[in-house]
Amino acid sequence: MTGFEIHARQRAVSKELVDKFRRVPVANVSDCMSRMTAGGARLRPMHDGTPLAGPALTVRTRPGDNLLVHKALSLAQPGDVIVVDAGGDLTNAIIGEIMTTYAESRGIAGIIINGAIRDCGTIRRSAFPVYAAGVTHRGPYKDGPGEINCVVALDGMTIAPGDLILGDDDGLLAVPYEQAQAIFEAAAAKHDVETKMLADIAAGTLDTSWVDARLRALGCTGV
């Protein structure tokens, strides 16, 4: 039935590449993707802030229903990030303490809910990464429909199964599978540059001459 299907994931970013990305802040990766991609400001870390990285196992579900999310928990491989598009609706929670505890026990890297969660106090104290748009005590339904391993979009950020998902205190980012290696190389180089800038600030040697040069190039007078 269309809209009520479980698909097989065809590819996923490697563990080696996921581990490389862990040392790079999401902001550096975003800069190297032309600052055009984001999961939306509503999707915030609900846990203790531990960074998130792993290949996406995607779920699209009817708002307020988590039947397909339960199935995704059993299908996910260790290191996967379950990405749930529940329509952004905050009426009913999609997951809570039981499901996050089960996910962590299976080695899942984290869960993203474009919707609401509950048991937020427990989740807030946990290192298991959970991102969501809001909180409500009202529980979910378990009727479907939904899909697993389909393309989803969170606030315009398209995520295909197996794409790399990154998250930290600044928010979420999806890196396309085909571009992940090239984006890592660019982001790592940018991170190295910014690390040196911080060292220069500490030493009092930061060169800020580029500011005046930029102003003159843009025609600013009085520089």
The binding site for substrate comprises 96-99, 118
Whether 106 contacts 29, CB under 8 Å? no
Q: What is the DSSP letter of 34?
A: T
The first and second tokens of residue 92, run together, are 């009913």
| Binding site per annotation, positions | 96-99, 118-119
Tell me how far apart the alpha carbons of residues 13 and 100 are, in angstroms, rounded to a whole number: 23
Q: What is the DSSP letter of 49?
A: -
Among 148, 190, 158, 189, smallest CA distance to 57 is for 148
| Binding site per annotation, positions for Mg(2+) | 119
Task: Output Rg (C-alpha) for the chain, integer angstroms.
Answer: 20
Tell me how far apart the alpha carbons of residues 194 and 19 are, in angstroms, rounded to a whole number: 20
